Structure 1
Amino acid sequence: MTTTPPLAASNARVKDARRLSRRSVRTERRLFLADGPKAVEGALGSPGTAVEVFATVAATETYAALAAAADGAGVRWTLVEDKALASLSDSVTPAGVVAVCRHLDRPLADLLASDRPRRLVAICADVRDPGNAGTVVRCADAAGADLVVLAGSSVDAHNPKTVRASVGSVFHLPLAVEADAASAVRAAQAAGLVVLAADGAGEVDLHAPEAEPLLARPTAWLFGNEAWGLPAELAELADHRVRIPIHGRAESLNLSTAAALCLYASARAQRSPAG
């Protein structure tokens, strides 16, 4: 661990890391910032991901276990002034620790061709809000999913808000980015997954008995945009369209809630004795 004085915001290394707040720089350099203790913990627990950790003196004392983990992993732990740390964080109240990390995504074809069978996948098509994207990743992780795909014009998977909303889950399961959502659907089908589109007008009721055999199969759930859902042409590519029943007067469910219900329904069916 460094014993030099904390770096100022004007330091060249700090300024270089600060450039990663721009998507174009993240894409070019294949690096991103993980902000907060949960994100840093996840990065340090993912071998080869964390490059350097910037932390204030106070945070180093508070998160001594993280500092020790960085030291054990051979990741540089750099002390910075409070203003320098604030310049690296987009949080209203920075937690005092930010990691520079290597990009996490891998080609979808490689992940689907893995020796490990994929039984539960989440495909997000044109999901624009980083908080929603990160929460879907968190839900997928909690449900035991094998893979998350951000497809089409979805938000940057390495956006600081996406990473923070995942509460570390972005480091726990494989992640793919696919520019064409239709290609992601076809790739999942080619890999033997049944694609279920979450659609309020779907012909299958998620809670109906006839849904159980579908849910028990290796599945890729297809989720659409927060505001307008799935385009008709994309929903038609799915093997089935599944609706979540609305028993009250609410017009609909938000994306992350719908994703949690669908993913957990599959997780339950796949883990049942008959699954």
Structure 2
Amino acid sequence: MLDNPRSPRVRAVAKLAKRGARSETGLFLLEGPQAVSEALTFRAELVVELYATPTALERYPDLAQAAVDAGVDVEFVTEHVLDTMADTVTPQGFVAVCHQFPTSVKDIFGAEPKLIAILEEVRDPGNAGTIIRAADSAGADAVILTGRTVDLYNPKVVRSSTGSIFHLPIAMGATLTDVRARAAAAGLQLLAADVKGEDLLVARNSGRLAKPTAWLFGNEARGLDDDDLALADAAITVPIYGSAESMNLATAASVCLYESAFAQRT
């Protein structure tokens, strides 16, 4: 059992909370029973190391069995060691180290997608992870994080996705102009979510949302700039019927993605 929070091994795991260490090693941090379970179920080959407290493993016997089935050894650690490894204040008994596994933009569009989400300068990791989760829930084919968006392997992005990063292809680092060109070549319209756009209900009733679509979501505070909007085939806004001043980006993205999912399945 690992019981020294100052050991080089424990410190190496803890460093993965920082982007520099992730870039240098090609690894990332995974926390909690749900995320670890999704990794073992869908992409077990990515799991390099798996740590757990004895109490946590007793509490989640199915996860213990999943690790055995996947051929992944579980190393016991003390609560103090797990606290040191984890990025969260109150970790839930499990920490894993995984290989990064980004998909190329070329491969995403080569698979003839019908619905994808593009994040341009989305800086809040919670929003990014939640949009990935929403895209997964809506049956989207892929997600693309441009070079100005938060790192996919930021621990909060990973946690907020609740395992969805293991379910669908995700690319990162491309420029929006390149993504736009590839989307057009693949026959997808680019719809920008923007407060100055056409009402979502009008777009739904016109049949626009039934077409193969790449939704573009911008920065939480500023939205999309004029150059970004100029790349889009149309701008669409989610109407606010109550008295709220605005809508959270991830919430608006969820509505847009599901509207397209509904329309494409009707």
The answer to whether the superposition gives a TM-score over 0.5 is: yes
Q: What amino acid does structure 2 have at the position aligned with 1:234?
A: D
Distance 1:85 1:72 in 2: 24
DSSP 3-state at the match of 1:192: coil
Alignment pair present for 1:222 and 2:216: yes
- Partner residue of 1:72? 69
Distance 2:204 2:136 in 1: 26
Distance 1:37 1:212 in 2: 44
1:178-221 C-alpha deviation (Å, 9 max, x unpaired): 3422222222222211110001101x221126654211011000
Q: What amino acid does structure 2 have at the position aligned with 1:8?
A: N
Q: How far off its partner does 1:93 sit?
A: 1.1
- Partner residue of 2:150? 155
TM-score (normalised: structure 2): 0.95
Distance 1:266 1:210 in 2: 8
1:10-31 C-alpha deviation (Å, 9 max, x unpaired): 3332222222111011112111
Select which of 238, 257, 265 maps to 2:232.
Answer: 238
Name structure 1 gaps, 5 residues minimum.
none
Counting only pairs closer than 5 Å after superposition, residues 104-123 of structure 1 correspond to structure 2 as 104-114=101-111, 117-123=112-118
- Give yes or no for contact 1:104–1:171 (8 Å, CA) kept in 2: no
Q: What amino acid does structure 2 have at the position aligned with 1:46?
A: F
Q: How far off its partner does 1:88 sit?
A: 1.4
Distance 1:67 1:53 in 2: 11
Distance 1:234 1:212 in 2: 24
Distance 1:216 1:93, change over 3 A: same
Distance 2:203 2:109 in 1: 29
- Give yes or no for contact 1:206–1:242 (8 Å, CA) kept in 2: yes
Distance 1:110 1:233 in 2: 26
DSSP 3-state at the match of 2:16: helix
Q: How far off its partner does 1:175 sit?
A: 0.5
Distance 1:145 1:68 in 2: 30
Alignment pair present for 1:137 and 2:132: yes
Aligned residues: 265
CA RMSD after TM alignment: 1.4
Distance 1:76 1:30 in 2: 21
1:227-247 C-alpha deviation (Å, 9 max, x unpaired): 000011011101111111222
Alignment pair present for 1:172 and 2:174: no
Distance 2:8 2:20 in 1: 19
Does 82-91 or 225-234 show the bigger shift?
Answer: 82-91
Q: What amino acid does structure 2 have at the position aligned with 1:143?
A: A
Q: What amino acid does structure 2 have at the position aligned with 1:34?
A: L
> Relative to total residues, which structure has the larger helix share, 1 or 2?
2
Select which of 119, 123, 126 maps to 1:128.
Answer: 123
- Partner residue of 2:81? 84
- Partner residue of 2:246? 252
Does 247-256 or 30-39 show the bigger shift?
Answer: 247-256
Q: How far off its partner does 1:111 sit?
A: 1.9
TM-score (normalised: structure 1): 0.92
